[in-house]
Amino acid sequence: MTDTVRLRPPSHRLDRRVLGWWRTHGLIWFGPPVLTLVLLGLLIPPARMWLLAPAAVTAVLGAAWILLMPMWWYRVHRWEATETAVYTRTGFFFQESRVVPLSRIQTVDTVRGPLQQAFKLATVTVTTASARGPVKISGLDRELAENLAERLTETTQATPGDAT
């Protein structure tokens, strides 16, 4: 079976646990500013309204972001690896689709930060001989990511070309 290397929608979704990972990121970004503003608002009575109002706005925006953005990203983000190429689609307003022929792959890495480890997720980074930079597939099941990296490495080694 030979696949044509062309830009097309990838077929695989990320692991569903990525929703919790993204929401936790949202809590880390929005939680501390809200808590700081609330605490200062309670401790400094003359500035209470000037501090609690932005805290409320930030909390509402943060809650909306934490609830809605991960669901949207989950619907948009896709990936696929075939015998000839790696396909990805990412983004929000500006969606980016990329196709990387296996002959252009230089290295394949997996990364698991502390939060990803907590959710048993990993990121596969495919570094290419392209000025555009590496392709990252974040939010894969840890074992799937390791197997994908191994398979891509083996397939890349068997693919003719020098990745330049």
| Both structure tokens of 135 | 């392709």
Q: What is the pLDDT of residues 48-85, one digit of tens each?
A: 999 999 999 999 999 999 999 999 999 999 999 998 89
What are the distances in angstroms from CA 90 to CA 3, 94, 128? 22, 9, 18
pLDDT band, very low/low/confident/very high, at 117 (cuts 50, 70, 90): very high
Q: Give me the amino acid identity at 99.
A: V
pLDDT at 1 over 50: no
Higher-confidence position of 108 and 4? 108
Residue among 1, 16, 2, 7 nearest 88 (CA):
7
Determine the Cα–Cα distance for residues 161 and 62; give it in Å rounded to an integer. Answer: 47
Do 134 and 125 contact (CB within 8 A), yes or no? yes
